[in-house]
Amino acid sequence: MKQLSLDNLRTFVSVIEQGGYAKAGDFLGRSQPAISLQIKKLEEQLDRKLFTKVGQRHMPSADGNWLYPKAKELLELNDGIFRALTPAPLSGRLRLGIPNEFASTLLPGLIGEFSKRYPDVSLEVTSSLSRDLLHASRRNQFDLILALVNPDAKSDDGELVLEDDVVWVGDANRPFVGENIPLVLAPDGCMYRSRVIDELKQQTRSWKISYTNADLSGLVAAIQQGLGITALARSSMPENLTVLKDNRLPHLGKVNICLFNQSIQHPVVSRTLADFIKSRLQG
């Protein structure tokens, strides 16, 4: 018997209510390709085209308009079951540590949806380098930490969420030219920075660091001004940049994205937020 994916239906409803794939991705904390894939799977299962493209916008088709209220009913029934069977509403204060790049790409949509579902949970979010979040002097300041970990590093208490590719990232409208590779990087201590420099030192091509900024929005602005290129985990890449496929650039390997759940006061709340983050990254 065929069964509809409630997750795909939630994405479908979000595209309509938020006004497009990109805004739905921001709301749900997912990339636009992930949103497109979910809509494609739903369309294939139903054998119906649910959206038509008008200019740059995706508008619901006749079948999409027919499905929309029914999808909302299914989602409300699903959410109502969980609300009714939840012994008590989640509440408490939770301290989340998250890398800078994920704070810019993953966090806005995720926090919006989490806060809507659990309005009695107060979130205190700190963004910093993974190395700093996991440092012994700061680690006990957080209940939950999302961090990047080198695949060869031992981490006994971290939960692997995703093994991701580290990719070269730039502006498609500003391709870098010449033999000297201009780099836009975070400060010393950033895993991407170390990986890029280590790999480039093994090459014969020249390179230079043209701009340094700890904040992803600052790096993005510099890249769009033509100051250079950078490296990021694929899942944290902003939608206004693109993965560079240039055989002159060295392969950057993998990175593990891990969760460190160390909440003592609110373990259920922390586990719920951890599951929320995992669903977004793995979706």
Average pLDDT, integer, range 90-96? 87
CA distances from 103 to 19, 53, 218 (A): 23, 31, 13
3-state secondary structure the chain: CCCCCHHHHHHHHHHHHHCCHHHHHHHHCCCHHHHHHHHHHHHHHHCCCCEEEECCEEEECHHHHHHHHHHHHHHHHHHHHHHHHCCCCCCEEEEEEEEHHHHHHCHHHHHHHHHHHCCCEEEEEEEECHHHHCCCCCHHHCCEEEEEECCCCCCCCCEEEEEEEEEEEECCCCCCCCCCEEEEECCCCCHHHHHHHHHHHCCCCCEEEEEECCCHHHHHHHHHCCCCEEEEEHHHCCCCCEECCCCCCCCCCEEEEEEEECCCCCHHHHHHHHHHHHHHHHC
Query: 6-85: what CATH class?
Result: mainly alpha
Average pLDDT, the chain: 88
**pLDDT-wise least confident of 137-151, 168-182, 249-263:** 168-182
The interaxial angle of helices 107-117 and 21-28, nearest 10 deg, is 60
Neighbours of 134 (CB within 10 A): 20
What is residue 73's predicted lDDT score, i.e. its pLDDT? 92
pLDDT at 156 over 70: no
CA distances from 41 to 9, 76, 142 (A): 10, 21, 38
Burial zone of 58 (CB within 10 Å; 0-12 exposed, 13-18 middle, 19+ buried)? buried
pLDDT at 1 over 80: no
pLDDT at 256 over 70: yes
pLDDT at 94 over 80: yes
pLDDT at 39 over 80: yes
- Residues paired with 184 in a beta bridge: 211
What is residue 267's predicted lDDT score, i.e. its pLDDT? 85
What is residue 155's predicted lDDT score, i.e. its pLDDT? 62
pLDDT at 76 over 90: no
Query: Among residues of the chain, what percentage have pLDDT more than 90?
Result: 46
What is residue 254's predicted lDDT score, i.e. its pLDDT? 95
Domain boundaries defined on the chain: 6-85, 90-283
pLDDT at 257 over 90: yes
Q: What digits encode the pLDDT tens for the residues 101-143?
A: 888 888 777 887 888 888 888 989 999 999 999 998 999 899 9
Q: What digits encode the pLDDT tens for the residues 213-246?
A: 988 899 999 999 999 999 999 988 888 899 998 8
Q: What CATH fold (topology level) applies to the domain 90-283?
A: D-Maltodextrin-Binding Protein; domain 2 (3.40.190)
What is residue 88's predicted lDDT score, i.e. its pLDDT? 60
